[in-house]
Structure 1
Amino acid sequence: MTQVDDSNLLRRRLEREKRARVEAEAILEKKALELYNANEQLQHLNENLEQQIQAKLAELQESEQRYRQLIESVQDIIYKISPEGVFTFVNSVVEKLLGYTEQEFVGKHFTDIVAPGYRKATLAFYQSMLEERIDSTYSEFPVVAKDGRTVWIGQTVRFIESEGNIAELVAVARDISDRKLAESQLQRTQTRLSTLITSLESGILVKDEQQRVILANQLFCDMFGIQDAPEQLIGQDYSRSVEFIKGSMEDPEAFAQQVEQLMQNRQAVTGEEIRMVNGRILERDYIPIFLKEQYMGHLWKYTDVTDKYLARERIRRSEEKYRGIMNNMELGLLEVDHNQTIIRSYERFCQMVGYAEEELVGKHAADLLVAPEFRNVINQQQITRKQGNASSYEMQLIRKDGSRIWALVSGVPILDEEGKIVGSIGIHYDLTERKQLEEELARAKRIADEARLAEKQFLANMSHEIRTPLNAIIGMSHLLFDTKPDQQQREYIDILKTSANFLHSLISDLLDMTKIEAGRIEVHARPFDLTGLLRSIQKVFEMKLKDRAISIDVMLDARISGDFVGDDVMLNQILMNLVGNAEKFTEEGSIQITARLKKQEAAKYWIEFAVVDTGIGIPKEKLDLVFQKFKQVNPHGHKHKGTGLGLAITKELVEIQGGTIAVRSHVGEGSQFTFTLPFGKSETPSEPVVVAPGNVPLCDDTLGCHVLIVEDNLMNQKYITSLLTKWNVPYTLALDGKHAVEEAKKQRFDIILMDIQMPIMDGYEASVAIRSSHNPNQNIPIIALTASAMLDQKNLALEAGMNDFLTKPFEPAQLRSLLQQYAPAEMVHDGDTMLDWERLNLLYGSDMEYTAEMLSIFLSDIVPEIMELPVLCQEDKRTELGQKVHKLKPTFGMVGLSQLEGKMAQLEKIVKQGSKDELLEIYCNDIIVKVNEMIPVIKKEIQKITPA
């Protein structure tokens, strides 16, 4: 290539490079401009963003200030706490309500301010909220202010979440102390009103707008023969009560219609008179209840006005009677004006008061004739007369000579022609002789009452003074048999025991007849097993006759089956008397007891009983004497003696029940006593037949109960302590009631045997003191040891808080039977650490694997709940304690802990009765001790029955 060509090439390349450089510079210039513009825009955006941020910050500061002012201005405490329960924020209201500053409050744990006794429940509230993630809850509890005041607050709590976790809790709390105080006052007011209504001297029934009973008192139930207690009626449909009540009314349908009419009208009606079938007259008030014109139910009030009605009727008849006498001028008439000035006095009245008519006319009747103490009566009668009403009354008049006479005055208003009251006329009848007779009768009645009281006191004293030493005699005779006497000594002891038993029987017969004649024996009908009762009597006499050539049999009608309703105690006494009488007069042969259904009338079954013996018989001419008091038919000077009251008492007991009794007999062939009694048929199971006292067999097991003996008589102390020592029963002896109360405060007993008549403090006073004071024996059984067989004294024992009574003299078996009855269930037998396998077999049969599983569940799931009982007792959470005890009680029986199931039942009863805290803790702790004792036993049984 030439140099020219190279130059052209170079030039063209330079031009291209130049153009390329120009283009690059243009591009660079364009990019620089774009970058400048972008930079300007970014700077502008930064300025706008900074302004927005500043505006937002100002807005947030303003909002925060506004919310803070809002929080500070409310009257509620607003606070935050961490999930651990520590306060992280609180508004200033806390200082106003509780006295703490914000600085003092923040950092505290919430339990620091909760009142003692509520901390555990409040802690459980927060834990439940956190665990169950309840978004919002409300609760109420008391807190302690800085100055020690207790303030009730009600709070609403919400939680705040952050990334799925609860970051904190926010609450608004308000002082509700005033509301709590108002609620408490309202509850007290409601209680007072309820108490007032239930204690009125009228039958009260209150129902709500749904016709449900909300309140009734005992008098209402008694008035209409309602067997349920008043509290059992609450919630029942009122119409059922109307149906029941109307059966007591003289006109049932009219009664029901009137009730319906009153309830429809809903207008108060008072003083309505209704008559009952039994002749009683009631005054009925119907009061509808409205609250701000809304019907809320009504109140029925029934008042027995029979006596008032009869009194009114007596007055009416008396007025008629005296009007007839007045017509024969046997009454004294006196007319007065409306100012009590005498207008006219009739002759008979003048004779009564000893004044002439001219001496009376124009004088003020009350000032001249009425005794000062009767001026108020006259003034009241004057008001009644001005109202146009007549009335009768009694008062004393002063005669001219200063002596006094009693007069029955019947006053009526006197009207003029226009019907205006211008005065009154009094018809006076001289009651002086009648009043004197009444005073004499009252004096005679007082003397008779004093005589009856003296007789009653004599019987009580006789019973006590004879039975007390007799108790020791009979008791010691039993104990002497345990000393291994020789043959001659046994004969002497038998004579001693026979004589003492005869004396006991004599006293009992006398007192039984006294009670019958006084009308203090009542028939108590209840379901019972008639066949079982007859078999029981047969067994008793089989034991008694085992060494004699006498057989005793029972023959029953095939139609007699199931349970009957009647007084089984009276029937038992009748048969025991008759069979005992047959045994006395039968040397050998047989005694037969028969029972057959004689007839049936609707629901009444007439059963004929017969006691037939092959004894010596009764002469025909003496058959009429057998049922007479103090008459003995003892042919040939028979060796058996007695009071002559046994058969007389038997006849009275039969007739009290509406039955009849008769006797047939032939000398040398035997006797047959036949009696017939009416019974009902029972559809419910009866109670077990009670074997006659004195024939309860002794057991060989040890009674593990601790007994407090309260007895001042040295012989009885020796007798009772000897028996308890023999039975290995630990005891403590108190010589009088005061000593017994002191011992009851020191230690817990299982049973108290309490004598009645003691010096310093008697048994009644001691029982009341033990039941009323704080001591570990406030609810344990107290058995009265009474030498009196009088019903009044036994009733007094029960009213004083005693559970039962044992009449002296008593035999060892009777005392032991009572100890077995009232001793705690787990103490009656040895081996109380054993499971009740009889019950387990009934529940699970031969399935040992299932049995082991149930025992394991009890240890793992139930025992931890049982261990919570003492805490509930200490914190006095009665409702929770009652619910837990009720829930846990059946689980003990399911694992064979039957005795502990009984203790849980006792604890449940004590909780319901509202017993003292100390007693609850004693029972709760006792159960925990027993459960801890049984845990290794259960574990051992699980190992035994679990397959290898």
Structure 2
Amino acid sequence: MNYHKLLSRQIKKHLPEELASDPAILRFLLIISDSYTTLERDTELAERAFRISEEQYLSLNTKLKHELEVKRLSLEKLKSAAGFLGSESQNDSDDLLIITQQLLDEIDKRKKSEAALRSSEGLWQFALEGAGDGVWEYNFLNQEVFFSKQYKKMLGYTEEEFKNDTAEWYSRIHPEDLELVNKIDQDYAEGKILSHQREFRLRHKEGHYLWILDRGMVIDFTKDKLPERIVGTHTDITERKLAEQALKINEEKYRGIIANMNLGLIEVDNTELIQYANDSFCNMSGFTQQELLKKKASEVLILNEETKKTILQKNELRRQGISDTYEVSVNHKNGQKRWWLISAAPRFNDNAELVGSIGIHLDITQQKRLELELINAKEQAEASTLAKEMFLANMSHEIRTPMNAILGMSNQLRKTHLDEEQSFFLDTIKGAADNLLVIINDILDLSKIDAGKLSLENIGFEIEPLLLRVIQVMNHKAEEKGIILSNSLNDPGLQEVLIGDPYRINQVLLNLVSNAIKFTPRGSVDLTCRLIKEDAAKQTIEIAVTDTGVGMDQSFKEKLFDNFSQEDASVTRKHGGTGLGMSITKKLVELMNGKIGVDSRKNEGTNISILLELNKGSLNDLPQIDATETDTSILKGKLILVTDDNEINRLLASTILQAYGAEILEAVNGLEAIEKVMNCDPDLILMDIQMPVMDGMEAIKEIRRRLTKKTPAIALTALALKGDNKKCLEAGFDDYLSKPFEETQLLHIVSAWLGKELKKLPISELSITPVTDLPLYDLTQLTTIARGNQDFIDKMKSLFKEQAPASVQELKSAYLKNDYALMARIAHRMKPSVDTLGIVSLKEVLKEIEESAKSEGTSLRMDGLLWNLENTIAKVVSKL
């Protein structure tokens, strides 16, 4: 911009750089520059005045007057501008430079002031926007109004779109709220109030209304002490208002629901006075609303002392802001006893202040009656169940006690010299006793399953030997009927070791195969095992028993697994049995998380299959329980007290123990046992649990109380209730032995507690004999399996003589070919037959051959092991 040279110097000297581009200042400076130019021209004209003509002078004079007038007007404008900027200078000089300098100084001060104001306003607006509130200001005298940027934004406008205009603001107030707004404004104008807080609605730019919380206060007053200026804030409370409205709608809705559901509703204040009671509550209590309102519930209602105490406790919870549900007993106004279920909660106002509580009441009198009836029924059922358990326990005791004598004496009799006929009679007795035990165990198993008291093992087992053992055990029954019992398929993909309960699986399969044989007059029974699916951790297997027997009708198939279920009465007469086997089988399978299925047609045969999902295992998962070889010399000279009210059982235990050199004391009840213990100081006590005069539990407690010496005591129990064994130990017994027991079991437990160190042997090598050398073989197990069937025994011996030498040759051949996998399979295959014939000396031999073969023949003893196996097999074959 080109200014007069004098003015340019002044600008450079006095005008701040930040103001040099201000449009208003630029316009002033142009006027001043023009004035300088005019002044110069005037001076020049004066110098030339004497050199011009009169006519020219007159013309020039007229023009000069015009220019002077322009100058005068410019000066007045400059003075006016300086005055507008607030200059306090009283200089009346017409000097253009002085006036311009004053103007520039005022402009500089004004700019700095405006910058500070803008900074302050920016901080102020920032604080307001951060709080989310809009700010307003109103002047009562000139009716000017100011709305902040955030205020306008709240209503959807930019700062330019919304005028700072009172009429504009009033036009946006909801018509229903105008009266409230005008009333407060009038109160201000009349000096009645100095501040206010109100809620009303303002129309948003988009047409909907916002709920506003308006708060304000007077900050300036007139000379008459009336409000002059008022400031305030607007807060958007739309969400809160909508929530309150929704709450009110819901409250009304739920009041209606409660009324329709016949739920009693009352509201009380903090002093427990009833503020509201619906019709349903009046009906429930028998009192009218007039009788209830403004009264304390605990005083007007007919309550017993316990209920009053409960209500006082609950009122304290409400004061702590806690809701809960509880039951109380009350009396109707007519005196009838009622039961209420109360759901109570604290009640708050809009400011979150506790104003009382609300309670919803449901009459549960009928439910309470049913509940009491159910409790009585449950107690009766529990008493019935307990009676049944006690009956089963007593039945078990009463049957097992003589069974113990029968089986025990049979075993003692077997040790004597018997001819063939006597052996047959003895086997028949033992077979009948075993069958009776099966029936007892079936009943007890069913009872335990139904009571949820049957527990399952979860151990490693080999599935193929388990299946083979089932065939071995049941084969004699099949041979008796002339039918073929086979194990035609064991899936090659089966894991060698699985994790589960081998005892219950064995029980299930024995029952299925036994039934199949029983109901197959001719033909065959086949046992198969297939792999259905597997993953890295589990295998799902299907074990099926298929027969060519009589089959069954569809109607009976549907109730096959019911308790005591048989197709008709003739089945029991012809085949025997209790009808419990299949029921127990199904429940056992389901306990193992398995499934059982039946496919059968009348006169065409039956297929029963079970699906089991079992975890995979390894040889390390097989039970590593140590068994012991009992050195029965420990019994010699030891004094043992045998206490039992059953003479035969005393005789049995005494006979067994005396055979190994023990000295016996006998007692017939607990009281007599205590006397014998105190007088004779036995080395060990054997004591029955159930006896007359004093039972075994009481007797052992008294013995432990009287004696300082810890004499070993073993409980002999025929009880069947779960937990009885634990009770024996808690009473003071050191161990227990269940009846009926085997001779080996009795000798082992007695020898163990008499305190001598026992030689550890691997599992399944438990043998008790006074002879130091093991026998070459022992057919006791085979004889037990045969149950007196000599043809079966002969056939098994014949098969062994044919197959065992051939298996040895296969082993040697595989060894020469370094086919270790085949060696392991052959050794594994031979183990069951060696076990069956009781060739104890070969158990460890076969085990080491198998394990070494799996390690690719790493044993340096393989040659010696094979020679030992071949030599022993040859000796057994020659003796058989």
Instruction: Compute the TM-score of the two structures, normalised by the length of structure 1.
Output: 0.45
Larger RCO (CA within 8 A; separation ≥ 6): 2
